[in-house]
Amino acid sequence: MSQSTSIPKKQTRVRDHGYDNYMEIEKKVRKILKFQDLILAQPNNMLSISRLDSISRRIGFKQFESGRFILKFPHVFEVFEHPVQRILYCRLSRKAVSQMEQENEALLRQIPDAVTRIRKLLMLSNTGRIRLEHVRIARKEFGLPDDFEYSVILKHPQFFRLFDADETRNKYIEMVEKDSSLGVCEIERVREREYREKGIDAEDIRFSFIVNFPPGFKIGKYYKIAVWKWQRLPYWSPYEDVSGYDLRSLEAQKRMEKRAVAMIHELLSLTVEKKMTLERIAHFRMAMCLPKKLKEFLLQHQGIFYISTRGNHGKLHTVFLREAYKKGELVEPNELYLARRKLAELVLVSPRKARVDKELANYRRDGLEDDGGVGRDYIEDGFEVKGNGGRGWKDGDESDGDVDLSGDSAYSDEGDSSSESGIEESCTTE
């Protein structure tokens, strides 16, 4: 008896803790974004703590949980006492507001790229049209603004057409004309780069994908043979029209299965962070002829994709493109991704460090002189004065007799009388 050399249909998922840790941080970021929306919806962008507790129950928080939550992230939320009402309020910190402004600016600057993404997304559809609601649900993944229906779709009538379907009464986005120059998959660019840099045989890399199995994944001899055969299997491009082919043969079905892998690979490549939830990928299943059992299908190719169940008590499945990540970061980051990651960096800052930073900021603010604009930089075991001709004292300095107290120095004779008297009094006491 000889074992089969085909990839097994059912496989157990092997965890990769790098992606799971990424989703643990993402879970906190999603909760923070919900709080940000609540605060920004209020007048003057601030909300009383007592009212926050009652409103936060709408987004799934329990009683008295919201107050403890915002105190965990002092770099994102700021709690202060109202000067008139004398009750506690919360608002976004300066760093959080700066991060939001940076993300909005990056979102507006990459609208031309968003137009290209939507054009390629429509070309992946077998009918050239996609429901508007499905794109709206996944607008954050594709880097689209909230008003993308106007700023991206209606503002570019040469590329898109918006219409209502008679049979379903749903709005659809349809491409006006197919552009063959956009019909190049991301995996094809990767193959060309691999061929030029590593000099791999052209026949071996012609239809292959970059495979990187998670740690602990068991690879037997027959499984290696099956993967090698699957890598050399030809398939039709996701941008190619396959309506004219006879798909009843076994060979055609194998090619369509590999085409589905390339379709999901291209769909994830069009996203900003090279990841998308499994539920949102399922929205495009009918339009892109994807398999019904998507999770089992993706588990067959754990070297290309990774499914993380972290982030919502196992109810949320996030699909990562493995080749796009290295050590928990994008290999080729973009401006919008970097702006979003700054919020994650604020989340990771501990409350203890935030308190220390606040104390240091108050200490420096108290050390500045209002009269004359001369600032003092305090250092440990001494101080230093900045000015024209200013001198600095530190412990162990033997240059007391050489101090110049003339008019050219930082201190005048008239202004030093109080300090000299204070020095004399301290000497007498000693």
Q: Which residues contact 256 (CB under 8 A, 6 or more apart)?
A: 235, 236, 242, 247, 289
Residue 344 has pLDDT above 50, yes or no: yes
Instruction: Report pLDDT digits (tens) over 235-260.
Output: 999 999 888 888 888 889 999 999 99
Residues 6+ apart with CB under 8 A from 402: none
Is 379 inside any structural domain?
yes
Distance, C-alpha 285 to centroid of its chain: 25
Residues 189 and 289 in one domain: yes
**In terms of domains, do 45 and 67 share one?**
yes
pLDDT for 92 equals: 93
Do 231 and 314 belong to one domain? Answer: yes
In terms of pLDDT, which residue wins out, 198 or 387? 198
In this structure, what DSSP letter does residue 128 have? Answer: S
Residue 104 domain-assigned? no
Residue at 9 is within a domain:
no
Which H or E run contains 75? none
The reply to whether 163 and 190 lie within a common domain is no
Question: Domain boundary residue among 92, 126, 148?
Answer: 92
Q: Residues 257-279: pLDDT tens digits?
A: 999 999 999 999 999 999 999 99
Domain that holds residue 394: 368-429
Is residue 55 within 8 A of residue 47, CB to CB? The reply is yes
Structure tokens at 221: 């001899």
Pick from 194, 187, 156, 214: which is nearest to 270 by CA?
Answer: 187
Mean pLDDT of the chain: 80
Over residues 44-66, the mean pLDDT reads: 82
Strand, coil or helix: what is 121?
helix
The pLDDT score that the predictor gives to residue 161 is 93
Q: Which residue has the tokens 């401006």?
A: 335
Q: In 213-231, which positions are buried (b, 16+ CB within 10 angstroms) versus exposed (e)?
A: bbeebeeeeebeebbeebe
Model confidence, pTM: 0.78
- Concatenated DSSP letters of 217-266: ----HHHHHHHHHHHT-----TTS--TTS---SHHHHHHHHHHHHHHHHH
Q: Are residues 287 and 417 in the same domain?
A: no
Q: What is the token pair recorded at 275?
A: 């990841």
Beta carbons within 8 Å of 338's beta carbon, 6+ residues apart: 106
CA–CA distance, 55 with 51 (Å, rounded to integer): 6
Neighbour tally for 397: CB within 10 Å: 11
233 with 152, same domain: the answer is no
CA distance 231 to 261: 12
Looking at residue 205, what is its pLDDT? 82
Using CA atoms, how far apart are residues 374 and 120, in angstroms rounded to an integer? 59
212 plus 74 within the same structural domain: no
Kindly state whether residues 88 and 208 are assigned to the same domain. Answer: no
* pLDDT of 383 above 70: no
Residues 210 and 292 in one domain: yes
- Is position 8 within any domain? no
CB 319 within 8 A of CB 282: no
Give which of 136, 135, 108 is closest to 122, Cα–Cα. 135
Alpha-helical runs (H) found in 309-416 = 335-348, 351-367
- What whole-number distance in Å separates Cα of residue 11 and Cα of residue 196? 34
The overall longest dimension of the chain from CA atoms, in Å, is: 106
pLDDT reported for residue 351: 66
| pLDDT reported for residue 1 | 39
pLDDT in tens, 348-372: 886 665 555 555 445 444 554 444 4
* pLDDT tens per residue, range 123-172: 999 989 999 999 999 999 999 999 999 999 999 999 999 988 877 778 99
Answer yes or no: do 379 and 291 share one domain.
no
240 occurs within a structural domain: yes
Q: What is the DSSP letter of 375?
A: B
Element (H, E) at 240: none
Residue with token string 């008896």: 1
Partner residues linked to 276 by β-bridges: 319
Is residue 322 pLDDT above 50, yes or no?
A: yes
Residue 291 burial by CB count (10 A; 0-12/13-18/19+): exposed, middle or buried?
A: middle
User: What pLDDT score was predicted for residue 276?
Assistant: 95
Q: Does 164 fall in a domain?
A: yes
- Average pLDDT in the 36-48 region? 89
Question: Which of 333, 352, 384 represents a domain boundary (last residue)?
Answer: 333
Q: Does 148 fall in a domain? A: yes
Asked whether residue 102 is assigned to any structural domain, the reply reads: no
Q: Are residues 150 and 215 in the same domain?
A: no
Q: Report the C-alpha gap between 21 and 265 in whole angstroms.
A: 22
Cα–chain-centroid distance for residue 427? 61
Number of domains in the chain: 4
**Structure-token match 């305090």, residue found:** 378
- What was the pLDDT predicted at 385? 37
Q: What is the CATH number of the domain that holds 133?
A: 3.90.1150
Contact (Cβ atoms closer than 8 angstroms) between residue 192 and residue 200: no
